[in-house]
């Protein structure tokens, strides 16, 4: 399928000419996902809960002046924050803030429905948040806007906004591993059901009127210091130092996702739907392979070492994480009390806290995505070129 594109009115209305169809993409994003995307929903859902409390040095690299406290699982901005800045939008606020305000906030550029800890499958972890619940919140939000006598948000952009799922599913896999499942068991039992539910989410968004849907695949979970520490010695390892079998799970999931979304694109082409697929996996692999090309200068032993952590081969401990304090076991025997309230220069790291990435990585990933690099479909699709985006705030 061939695409041509013409940018009109500084991206306020982009026309993608696809055969005889036209897609109008207005300036708004509705966002779904997990902790790589959450901008505060989990803190609003469970304020003060230890599992949701992010202490300094979370947020040390960027100050969100209108958002007190630490509500992002990184040292600074996430992919969705850089997208907002590139489009000159306000940062995407969490849906629970809108609910607290009684739908009074003027969300003309979209809303964030992502929650840290969210899974694709329901009831797979103790966390009550999963993808369908995020979708249901969107549907409730949409209905509330349409039923309001004086909606604060213009309704014309709802069908033509971009619907973004940067990634989701890693929590499903990790929870299965933590319960003793092998990578092959996850491939056989968890991946197929997760794929079906994610594809169902795209179908539901389309049925609700979405015509521009962006989906990222699974990054390299076998490179996560959490996985590397929890399953140390369960190799083989690749040339980066990642666990092959755990990366294979992500690869199998990604192959299935690409196949399913390509089929949906073909099924939906008659109504002008555009499904944009982003290759998160290979984008992260590129950063691990050539970090200095993207401004990440590694002055430490391994590319997989955690910036904000303590101990072990990856500067990471399963018992005490970034911003926390407590006793940790030492390799030499005994325990030591640590207070992880400082971090080395995050610009020199890929891994932030053992699970999440640094702001420097999210900056590079966003630049890839918006510029058309690692875009699986349509190949080379570039928001930057079409919309004349400004990366100067990056």
Encode pLDDT of 126-150 as tens digits: 778 999 999 999 998 888 777 765 5
| Antiparallel, parallel or unpaired: β 212-216 and 274-278 | parallel
| Mean confidence (pLDDT) of the chain | 87
| pLDDT at residue 123 in the model | 81
Residues 138, 132: Cα–Cα separation, whole Å: 10
User: How confident is the model over 217-243, as a mean pLDDT?
Assistant: 95
Mean predicted confidence (pLDDT) in 245-253: 98
pLDDT confidence bin for 157, thresholds 50/70/90? low
Predicted pLDDT at 318: 87
Indicate the domain borders of the chain. 4-304+346-387
Is 353 a residue of the active site?
yes
Where are the alpha helices (H) located in the chain, listed in sequence order? 41-45, 79-86, 95-100, 131-147, 170-178, 183-185, 191-207, 225-230, 244-268, 280-289, 359-371, 383-387
Given the residues 34, 172, 356, 367, select the one marked as catalytic: 356
Question: Which position has the token pair 């306020």?
Answer: 12
Rounded to 10 deg, the angle between the 191-207 and 131-147 helix axes is 10
* pLDDT-based confidence at residue 301 (cuts at 50, 70, 90): low
Question: What pTM was estimated for this model as a whole?
Answer: 0.91
Q: Which position among 172, 353, 371, 377 bears the catalytic label?
A: 353
> Do 86 and 14 contact (CB within 8 A), yes or no?
no
Task: Check: CB of residue 375 under 8 Å from CB of residue 214.
Answer: no
**Residue 233, φ and ψ in degrees, nearest 5:** 85, 0
Q: At what angle do helices 244-268 and 280-289 cross, to 10 degrees?
A: 140
Answer yes or no: is pLDDT of 162 > 90: yes
35 is catalytic: yes
Q: Determine whether 301 is exposed, middle or buried from the number of CB atoms within 10 Å of its CB (0-12, 13-18, 19+).
A: exposed
Catalytic residue among 35, 61, 367, 377: 35
Hunting for tokens 């990054």 — which residue is that?
219
- The predicted pLDDT at position 101 comes to 63
Q: Determine whether domain 4-304+346-387 maps to CATH 3.90.1170.30.
A: no
Q: Give 49's pLDDT tier (boundaries 50, 70, 90).
A: confident
pLDDT of 329 > 70? The answer is: yes
Q: List the one residue out of 102, 61, 142 whose CA is nearest residue 394.
A: 61
Average pLDDT (152-156) is 53
pLDDT at 10: 40
* Residue 240: how many other CB atoms lie within 10 Å: 15
On the CB side of 205, CA atoms within 13 Å amount to 32
pLDDT of 69 > 60? The answer is yes
pLDDT at residue 104, as a whole number: 57
pLDDT at 95 over 80: yes
Indicate if the pLDDT at residue 15 is higher than 50.
Answer: no
Question: Does the pLDDT value for residue 7 go beyond 60?
Answer: no
* Whether residue 153 has pLDDT greater than 80: no
């Amino acid at each position: 399928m061939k695409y041509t594109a013409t940018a009109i009115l500084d991206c306020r209305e982009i026309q993608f000419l696809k055969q005889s169809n036209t897609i109008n993409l207005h300036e708004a994003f509705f966002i779904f996902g997990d902790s790589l995307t959450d901008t505060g929903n989990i803190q609003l859902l469970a304020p003060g809960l230890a599992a949701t409390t992010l202490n300094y040095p979370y947020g040390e690299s960027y100050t969100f002046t209108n958002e007190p406290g630490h509500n992002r699982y990184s040292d600074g901005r996430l992919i969705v924050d850089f997208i907002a800045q590139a489009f000159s939008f306000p940062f995407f606020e969490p849906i629970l803030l809108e609910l607290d305000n009684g739908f009074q906030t003027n969300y003309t550029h979209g809303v964030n429905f992502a929650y840290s800890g969210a899974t694709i499958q329901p009831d797979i972890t103790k966390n009550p948040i999963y993808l369908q619940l995020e979708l249901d919140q969107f549907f409730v939000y949409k209905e509330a806007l349409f039923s309001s006598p004086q909606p604060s948000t213009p309704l014309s952009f709802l069908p033509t906004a971009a619907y973004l799922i940067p990634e989701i599913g890693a929590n499903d896999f990790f929870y299965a591993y933590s319960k003793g499942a092998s990578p092959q068991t996850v491939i056989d039992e968890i991946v197929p059901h997760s794929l079906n539910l994610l594809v169902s989410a795209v179908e539901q968004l389309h049925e609700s009127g979405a015509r521009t849907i962006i989906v990222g695949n699974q990054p390299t979970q076998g490179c996560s210091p959490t996985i590397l520490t929890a399953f140390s010695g369960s190799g083989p390892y690749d040339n980066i130092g990642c666990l092959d079998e755990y990366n294979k799970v992500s690869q199998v999931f990604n192959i299935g996702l690409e196949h399913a979304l390509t089929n949906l694109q073909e099924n939906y082409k008659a109504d002008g739907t555009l499904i944009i697929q982003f290759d998160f996996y290979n984008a992260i692999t590129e950063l691990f392979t050539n970090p200095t090309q993207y401004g990440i200068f590694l002055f430490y032993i391994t590319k997989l070492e955690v910036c904000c952590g303590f101990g072990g081969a990856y500067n990471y401990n399963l018992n005490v994480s970034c911003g926390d304090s407590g006793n940790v076991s030492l390799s030499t025997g005994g325990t030591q009390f640590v207070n992880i309230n400082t971090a080395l220069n995050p610009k020199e790291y890929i891994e932030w806290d053992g699970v999440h990435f640094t702001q420097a990585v999210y900056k590079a990933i966003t630049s890839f995505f918006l510029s058309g690099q690692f875009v699986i479909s349509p190949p080379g699709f570039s928001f930057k070129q079409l919309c004349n985006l400004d990366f100067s705030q990056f």
